[in-house]
Amino acid sequence: MNVQTRKAFVALVATQAAHSLEEFAARLYEVFGPARTLSGLVCDDRAVGFAVLNVGVVIFGLWCYVAQVRPSRPAARALVWLWSAAELVNGTGHMILGVSRGGYFPGLGTAPLLVVISLYLIRRSRARASQAARHGRGGGR
């Protein structure tokens, strides 16, 4: 895992933190059914439940970086792919919801950055995998 990929992953987790704050401030847990349901499963106060879930996501992202991505452990590539795919879907979903509603949807402000960083990470990962295959390696560090 090279320095640029590690930095981009940290940027993705930081952007998710900003995205979570935007969603919380705009009360996504009140206007989006899945967020309302999940938040209610965590706590009767949906705002608290939503905050707990999102803090958990960001802490998990930081753990992924510190324990797996930064030291380039074997699981790092898979975690970067999973995070990138999840954030690509997340950001794209917010943009689609904003367009379909004809205006702002909670999380729309940070969604494009999630998409851009995710696509960057996916492209870097694919390029490295392709390069490794051409050189007969399993993708090494």
Give tens-digit pLDDT for 17-66.
Answer: 999 999 999 999 999 999 999 999 999 999 999 999 999 999 999 999 99
For residues 36 and 105, is the Cβ–Cβ distance under 8 A? no
Report, in angstroms and rounded to the nearest whole number, the Rg of the chain calculated over CA atoms.
Answer: 17
pTM for the whole thing? 0.90
**For 67-86, how does the pLDDT look when each residue is reduced to its tens digit (9 = 90+)?**
999 999 999 999 999 999 99
- Domain segments of the chain: what residues? 3-134
